[in-house]
Amino acid sequence: MTIRNKNKFSELRVKSKTENLSVVRDFVSENALNAGINLATVENIMLAVDEACTNIIKHAYKSSPEGEIIINIEYSKNKFTITIIDYGKSFEPDRVPLPDLQKYYREHKVGGLGIYLMRSLMDDVKYTSVPGKYNQVLLSKNISDS
């Protein structure tokens, strides 16, 4: 007997250009709405994925437009998961401290807010890097009660 996998999958591949951020957001919101997630949560998920992809474009690929970003979405009744893969420079999120806005202000620092937003908006954010091969960030949101 085979058990039917009820999870739904979708994939999007885009080049590492900021103009593709809106393509990514549309892809995420379409899937999240199909998953039956409420609009406010859909918008939070969209923002978290935008932040992850912005980081990939700026840091992993250093704004070179030819890098590849692969976004996989998988959802079930209870959980909405986005996996984002890139082949750029690896990233060590543990080295990114929680932002101290007062300090940012004093030091004219403008980056680093994205990771904090991702962690605030999602239930789980996990980075995996195989240096020289690929980087993966997994974002997930529990949706059973949304």
Partner 1 sequence: MAEFSTSIKEKGEVSVINLKGYLDAHTAPTLENNFTQLIENSKYKIVVNFEDLAYISSAGLGVFMAYIESIRENKGDIKLTNMSDKVFNIFDLLGFPLLYEIYKKEEEALKKFNES
Nearer to partner 1, 41 or 136 (CB): 41
Least separation, in Å, of the C-beta of 89 and partner 1? 17
Task: Give me the residues paired with residue 41 across strands.
Answer: none
**Are 64 and 131 a contacting pair, CB within 8 Å?**
no
Nearer to partner 1, 29 or 76 (CB): 29
Closest CA to 15 of 56, 72, 74, 73: 56
Candidates 6-14, 16-24, 81-89, 131-139: pick the segment binding partner 1 (CB under 8 A): 16-24
Candidates 1-9, 18-26, 64-72, 130-138: pick the segment binding partner 1 (CB under 8 A): 18-26
What residues numbered 24-83 form the site for partner 1, per CB under 8 A? 25, 40, 43, 47, 50-51, 54, 57-58
Give me the 76-115 binding string for partner 1, x by CB under 8 A, dash otherwise.
-----------------------x-xx-xx--xxxx-xx-
Nearer to partner 1, 13 or 109 (CB): 109
CA gyration radius, the chain: 16
48, 68, 84, 95, 106 from 76: Cα distances, Å: 19, 27, 18, 32, 45
Task: Compute the C-alpha angle 86/52/29, nearest 5°.
Answer: 105
Structure tokens at 114: 């994205």
**Are 80 and 126 a contacting pair, CB within 8 Å?**
no
Binding residues for partner 1, rule: CB under 8 A, are 17-19, 21-22, 25, 40, 43, 47, 50-51, 54, 57-58, 99, 101-102, 104-105, 108-111, 113-114, 116-117, 120
